[in-house]
Amino acid sequence: MIISRLRAVCGVVEPHVRRLAGADMLSGFRTVENAWLRIDDGRIVGLGTMDTMPAPGSGEEHIVAEGAVAVPAFADSHTHIVYAGSRHGEFVDKIRGMSYEEIAARGGGILNSADRLRQCSEDELFSQSVARLREVMDKGTGAIEIKTGYGLDTPSELKMLRVIARLAEATPVRVRATWLGAHAVGREYAGRPDDYVDMLVTDMLPAIAAEGVADYVDVFCDAGFFTPAQTARILEAAAHYGMKPKIHANELAVSGGVQTAVAHHAVSADHLERIDTAEIALLGLSDTIATMLPGASFFLGMPYAPARRAVDSGCTVALASDYNPGSSPSGDMRMVWALGCIKMKLLPMEALCACTLNGAAAMELSDSYGAIAPGRPANFILSRPVPAPEFIPYSYTTPWIDRIFLGNNIIKQ
Ligand code: NIG
Ligand code: FE
């Protein structure tokens, strides 16, 4: 298939590029204007400016996409889409003035979702979760990371992992799985967090590893949840099973989560709403990706993580949705792209790089997701006609997706 007369192809990278940091997020994530793009058997096989377009082969499909742009499919590297029911009651409590921490402290929040999930059958949990996955696929997500963390006991965490494994088969979206047993202290261990961590390390982790599905380990290393010492213990135990860390850090306080993540060579440190200058510098010097979640700031009214300063300090910045029932009940990466521009002051192509290539890097999938380049699988979104690529995050609620290419699958809107 050949697509011609594109206004622009965005997210074009050199073949060796797997992530982009600092100023390279703009210079290395190129736009080709007035372009053509050729796809064969689910792969991109050529692209260039219109004056270089080859003649379509006999019988080759030819789409004249006048005024459209192509951007990489979104790579959402931080979600919790496997959950039961919702938490709309807490939404109303928050409007009335309760904070996320107050709701958690009274036994709501994550524990509320854990109660619901424990009562939900695996099939019912799958059916609720696959509806969310299909929804975000239709909104342009081509790869997604999904965490456990609403089970908080071994059978329920295993149930979550089985659902994630089924989700990986259910749609063309590429799925990565993360074990987040340390999302909150389970109710049975209230007031005994160290005993809960003992249980995680000696009982739950071996069972999770035996299931063979979890790519990563995560810990909510933050005020009121798990300390850096507890986090380190879990990460070291998980390392024996080959599970690399991705850490929830500095959402609620300067919590030591960033230092713990970097010391353990975490793939990413996520949230970072309360990060200080020294911690930004530390991340800038490390290989740990700074993943920021503007949807949680939007929904909870928290400060936005300092993405602009992080890029200017040389960090590899990724943006993700954090889709979950408590702090971000939306997995819409179109909105995340727009918030990255509007609230975090990233330029449109920097924010797009953070939502695509660097998100894919935060799932170790960036050889095949997050960029448009000859030789890579075709994972991109074709827009409706737009006046310019930056029109998309500017006009942030206007529908713009025409169709999504995920390998050999084409999802029409
Ligand atoms: O990333 N902060 C910890 N975990 C989720 C929220 C989970 C929930 O409230 O259900 C987050 O924001
Ligand atoms: Fe999260």
pLDDT digits (tens, 9 = 90+) for 9-28: 999 999 999 999 999 999 99
Contact 228, 256 (CB under 8 A): yes
Ligand 1 atom index nearest CA of 326: 9
Radius of gyration of the chain (CA): 21
* 160 closest CA partner among 105, 229, 113, 202: 113
Residue type for 356, please? Answer: T
Going from the Cα of 103 to the center of ligand 1, the distance in angstroms, rounded, reads 12
Query: Per-domain residue ranges for the chain?
Result: 2-72+370-412, 74-361
How far is the C-alpha of 63 from the C-alpha of 323, rounded, in Å?
A: 34
Per-residue pLDDT, 189:
97
The encoded tokens of residue 229 equal: 């010492």
Per-residue pLDDT, 280:
98
Ligand 1 atom index nearest CA of 322: 1
The CATH class given to the 74-361 domain equals: alpha beta
Per-residue pLDDT, 413:
86
Cβ count near 165 (within 10 Å): 17
Report residues of the chain scoring pLDDT below 50: none
**Ligand 1 pocket by C-beta < 6 Å: which residues?**
80, 109-110, 113, 220, 248, 251, 296, 322, 324-327
Per-residue pLDDT, 290:
98
State which of 77, 79, 80, 102 you would mutate to test the pocket of ligand 1, scoring each by most atoms of that ligand within 8 A of its C-beta.
80
Atom 12 (ligand 1): residue with closest C-alpha?
Answer: 327
Going from the Cα of 171 to the center of ligand 1, the distance in angstroms, rounded, reads 25
Beta strands in 202-345 (DSSP E): 216-221, 244-249, 268-271, 289-292, 317-319
Pairing of strands 289-292, 268-271: parallel
Neighbouring residues of 138: CB distance < 8 A, sequence distance ≥ 6: 401, 404, 411, 413
Going from the Cα of 39 to the center of ligand 2, the distance in angstroms, rounded, reads 35
pLDDT digits (tens, 9 = 90+) for 215-267: 999 999 999 999 999 999 999 999 999 999 999 999 999 989 999 999 999 99
CATH architecture of 2-72+370-412: Roll (2.30)
